[in-house]
Structure 1
Amino acid sequence: MLYAGISWHVGGYRLAVIGPDGRRVPVPGDYAPDHVDELITQLRKLGDGLNVVMESTNGTLDGRMMAAGLRVHRADPWLLPDRPLFGSVPAEELARVGERVRGGLPRLEPHRGTQTGRESDLNAWITQSAAADLEHTAANRFFPHGGRDRRQVALTFDDGPLPPYTGQILDILERYGIPATFFCVGINAGTFVEELTRMQEQGHAIGNHSWSHPFLPELSRPQLAEQLQRTDEAIAEASGYVQPRLFRPPYGARTPEVLGWLAELGTATVLWDVAPDDWALRQADAIARDVLAEVRPGSVILLHDGGGDRSLTVASLPPMIEGLLDRGYEFVRVDDMIGRTTADDLLKHTAPAL
Structure 2
Amino acid sequence: MDRREFLAGLAVAGAGVLSACTTVSTPTPTSSARSGPALSGPLAGPLPHKVPLPDKTITRLPGLGNSFALTVDDGASSEVVRAYAAFARETGARFTFFVTGKYDSWRDNRDVLAPLVESGQIQLGNHTWTHPDLTSLAPQEVAQELQRNKEFLRNTFGVDGTPFYRPPYGFHNDEVDRVAADLGYTVPTLWYGSLSDSGVVTEQFLISAIRHYFLPQAIVIGHANHDPVTHVYQHFVNAIRDRHLQMVTLDDYFANPAPTPQRKRW
Q: Distance in 2 between matches of 1:60 and 1:286?
A: 18
Task: Specify which of 249, 273, 284 is matched with residue 203 of structure 2.
Answer: 284
Cα gap change, 1:196 to 1:60, in 2 (>3 Å): farther
Cα gap change, 1:311 to 1:198, in 2 (>3 Å): farther
Question: Percent of aligned pairs with the same residue?
Answer: 23
Q: Distance in 1 between matches of 2:175 and 2:53?
A: 17
Q: Distance in 1 between matches of 2:56 and 2:116?
A: 24
Gaps of 5+ in 1: 1-58, 69-136, 340-354
Show the counterpart of 2:12: none
Cα gap change, 1:290 to 1:185, in 2 (>3 Å): same
Cα gap change, 1:334 to 1:275, in 2 (>3 Å): same
- 1:303 is paired with a residue whose SS is strand
2:65 corresponds to 1:150 = yes
1:265 CA drift (Å): 2.6
Cα gap change, 1:171 to 1:139, in 2 (>3 Å): closer
Q: Structure 1 stretches (4+) deviating beyond 6 angstroms?
A: none
Contact 2:94 2:249 in 1 (8 A): yes
Q: Distance in 2 between matches of 1:163 and 1:155?
A: 19
Q: Distance in 2 between matches of 1:219 and 1:196?
A: 31
1:139 CA drift (Å): 5.3
Cα gap change, 1:243 to 1:182, in 2 (>3 Å): closer
Q: Distance in 1 between matches of 2:159 and 2:233?
A: 25
2:117 corresponds to 1:200 = yes
TM-score (norm 2): 0.70
2:168 corresponds to 1:250 = yes
Contact 1:276 1:303 in 2 (8 A): yes
2:239 corresponds to 1:320 = no
2:45 corresponds to 1:64 = no
Contact 1:160 1:305 in 2 (8 A): yes
1:243 CA drift (Å): 4.9
Cα gap change, 1:177 to 1:196, in 2 (>3 Å): closer
Contact 2:135 2:171 in 1 (8 A): yes
Task: Specify which of 172, 177, 194 is matched with residue 259 of structure 1.
Answer: 177
1:284 CA drift (Å): 1.8
Show the counterpart of 2:92: 177
Q: Which structure has the larger Rg?
A: 1
2:156 corresponds to 1:238 = yes
Q: CA RMSD in A?
A: 2.7
Give the letter aligned to residue 71 of structure 2.
T
Q: How does 1:110-149 map to 2 (within 5 A)?
A: 140-149=55-64
Cα gap change, 1:261 to 1:215, in 2 (>3 Å): same
Cα gap change, 1:226 to 1:214, in 2 (>3 Å): same
Q: How does 1:13-28 map to 2 (within 5 A)?
A: none
